[in-house]
Structure 1
């Protein structure tokens, strides 16, 4: 898979835990996307902020995580499922970079909504990339579950039983 990057945004740490496990199992570098203005840690307030940003197509400025992706061949892109799409910081990342010739693997955490439109929304932003089937996890996945999901999409895992 060449050089692998696992990039993600996580507010409540579920997506972070999934990203860390994917990084551990693939040997990929990990990068957290951090917006200039953080979201509220109150779920209802954060939901209002996010819904407003998504409806406006707003892409927040990132203070971390937007560094070059040139050296990576494979990029896992992770987000919580927010209103059936990626979190606005992830959209900022997608719109900043050229993914030509890259292999993209979406992943998300959700509370029952699966991928929603996430895979399609990422594919729309990465038209020059190869998009593989992604990994959608309800809540927090276990190590073996992630290894099995990676295997299903044809990615070798370092996980040993």
Structure 2
């Protein structure tokens, strides 16, 4: 069976340890690419049909509104199936102790029976929070990893160790 790295990531203006800066590639996407390179997994970006604003403060308002209303955003280029995968690395930034609502859309679309899910999360101090228990409502959760977003560019060894020890 094949492996899949499915991830939600946001570029544009982001928060890094007390400051905001513009990035062209989101932190979770950087980690997803590293994992795909290390494992030979297929790569799939969980992409909202209507993305959040490039402005950080506006994005925060939009994402928080979606969280409060339990919105399930429509996704672009949704996979037709995950049947061919038995290991799925699921990546996301930590949004208020959970995952972005688009990740829930992805999880609720498929039957996760028999799938092993390896969560990976980027954050600026919140770690995994409740994301593992949130994912357990849908799938079998295996070993997880949390990477501080501002440390992603220097985390390749930590990620490699996690991938090899899973």
TM-score, normalised by the number of residues in structure 2: 0.85
- Unaligned stretches of 5+ residues in structure 1: 155-161
Q: Describe the SS at the equivalent of 2:119.
A: strand
Of 121, 124, 137, which aligns to 2:147? Answer: 137
Query: Equivalents in 2 of 1:32, 1:65: separation in Å?
Result: 9
Residue deviations 1:7-26, cap 9 Å, x none?
00101210000000011111
Structure 1 CA distance for aligned equivalents of residues 52 and 130 of structure 2: 22
**8 Å contact from structure 1 (residues 106, 134) kept in 2:** yes
Question: 3-state DSSP class of the match of 2:112?
Answer: coil
TM-score, length-normalised on structure 1? 0.88
Q: Which runs of 5+ in 2 are unaligned?
A: 12-25
Q: Is 1:50 aligned with 2:60?
A: no
Q: Distance in 1 between matches of 2:155 and 2:114?
A: 31
Distance 1:121 1:138 in 2: 20
Cα deviation code 1:32-90 (max 9, x no counterpart): 01111010111111111111101111110101243311100001111100111111111
The CA RMSD measured in Å over matched residues stands at 1.2
Deviation digits for residues 100-142 of structure 1, max 9, x if unmatched? 011111111001100011111111122xxx3102111001152
Residue of structure 2 in register with 1:159 after alignment: none
Residue 94 of structure 1 aligns with which residue?
107
User: How many pairs were matched up?
Assistant: 149
Partner SS, residue 85 of structure 2: coil
Partners of 1:65 and 1:22 in 2: how far apart? 21
3-state SS of paired residue (1:47)? helix
